[in-house]
């Protein structure tokens, strides 16, 4: 699997984002939260992912932009583990939910743990169906 974050994997649709927060499920690994929703309208790939950092915690745009870049990079590096657990297309939003300024290594470790937790949730969902 190539470690890229191409345009077709970026979540941009306002309608999809609204549906994601209205009907989606989530898994958390402090300070990260992954909100996901099965989304059949995705034409290419299995995932559309967006990232978000709260303006409440980081007032300055350059701080929010830094953490969004870090989240996108940790997704790009670890998306292979996320794709292993998918058989249907999903829309996802990765949220950074603390005012603490964690290092890249800490955020990367939390991202890996979050993706593992998502994989466990997917396996549990498959066995319950």
Q: Where are the domains of the chain?
A: 7-128
75-95 burial: b if 16+ Cβ within 10 Å, else e: beebbeebeebbeebbbbbbb
What DSSP designation does 105 have?
Answer: H
- Residue 96: both structure tokens together: 């950074």
- How is domain 7-128 classified at the CATH fold level? Ribosomal Protein S5; domain 2 (3.30.230)
> Using one digit for the tens of pLDDT, what is the confidence trace for 44-85?
678 899 999 999 999 999 999 999 999 999 999 998 888 887
pLDDT tens profile 90-114: 899 999 999 999 999 999 999 999 9
């Amino acid at each position: 699997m190539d470690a890229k974050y191409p345009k077709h994997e970026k979540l941009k649709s306002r309608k999809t984002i609204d549906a994601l927060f209205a009907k989606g499920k989530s898994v958390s690994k402090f300070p990260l939260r992954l909100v996901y929703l099965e989304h059949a309208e995705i034409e290419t790939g299995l995932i559309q992912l967006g990232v978000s950092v709260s303006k409440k915690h980081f007032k300055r745009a350059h701080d929010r932009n830094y953490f969004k870049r870090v989240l996108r990079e940790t997704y790009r590096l670890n998306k292979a583990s996320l794709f292993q657990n998918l058989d249907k297309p999903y829309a996802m939003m990765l949220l950074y939910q603390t005012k603490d300024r964690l290092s890249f290594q800490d955020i990367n470790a939390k991202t890996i743990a979050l993706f593992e937790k998502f994989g466990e949730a997917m396996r549990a969902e498959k066995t319950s169906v």
